[in-house]
């Protein structure tokens, strides 16, 4: 995808409005336009990388550092009782904007939101975990 077509690059360039929370030379954070819970925020590198996997480590570290600060502020200032920090990689995982971003989703008592256990699949309980682990380790 050309960066010109990227909605988050447009926000970085100031061509598209956003409710900004934080900005420095490398990182921008703003509220997600469709709030999963109050305070749902996105943290992005200003430079375009497609996703978490293709982002250089130094940039990733800056994005995660800002993610941590905003998460802390959400707990203290919004009264959130928990936070989900997540990033989707590729369309198969639900990525719809192909510019790396981390979701910060503050969680509140009884917000009836997502839990990772909802993804669990009884049919996968027979998987050979040592074989899966060894396949992953080969790629490290």
CB closer to ligand AMP, 16 vs 77: 16
Question: Which is the catalytic residue, given 40, 48, 99, 101?
Answer: 101
The residue among 5 and 135 lying less far from ligand AMP, judged by its C-beta, is 5
CA distance 97 to 83: 21
Question: Which single residue is written with the structure tokens 């250089």?
Answer: 56
Active site residue 48: no
For the chain, the distance separating the N- and C-terminal CA atoms, rounded to the nearest angstrom, is 28
To ligand AMP, the closest distance from the beta carbon of 117 in angstroms equals 20
Binding of ligand AMP by 94 (CB under 6 A): yes
53 binds ligand AMP (CB under 6 A): no
Cα gap 65→52, rounded to integer Å: 14
What 3-state DSSP class applies to 87?
coil
The only residue of 48, 50, 60, 95 in contact with ligand AMP, by rule CB under 6 A: 95
Nearer to Zn ion, 9 or 83 (CB): 9
One of 89, 97, 108, 113 touching ligand AMP (CB under 6 A): 97
Q: Verify binding: residue 89, ligand AMP, rule CB under 6 A.
A: no
Smallest gap from Cβ 88 to ligand AMP, in A, equals 4
The set of catalytic residues is 101
């Amino acid at each position: 995808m050309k960066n010109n077509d990227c909605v988050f690059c447009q926000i970085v360039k100031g061509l598209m409005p956003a409710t900004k929370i934080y900005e420095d030379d490398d990182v921008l954070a703003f509220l997600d336009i469709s709030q999963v819970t109050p305070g749902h925020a996105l943290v992005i590198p200003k430079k375009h990388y497609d996703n978490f996997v293709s982002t250089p480590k130094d940039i990733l570290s800056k994005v995660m550092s800002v993610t941590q600060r905003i998460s802390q502020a959400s707990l203290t200032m919004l009264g959130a009782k928990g936070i989900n920090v997540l990033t989707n990689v590729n369309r198969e995982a639900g990525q719809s904007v192909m510019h790396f971003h981390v979701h910060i989703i503050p969680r509140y008592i009884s917000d009836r939101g997502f839990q990772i256990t909802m993804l669990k699949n009884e049919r996968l309980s027979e998987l050979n975990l040592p074989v899966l682990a060894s396949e992953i380790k080969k790629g490290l």
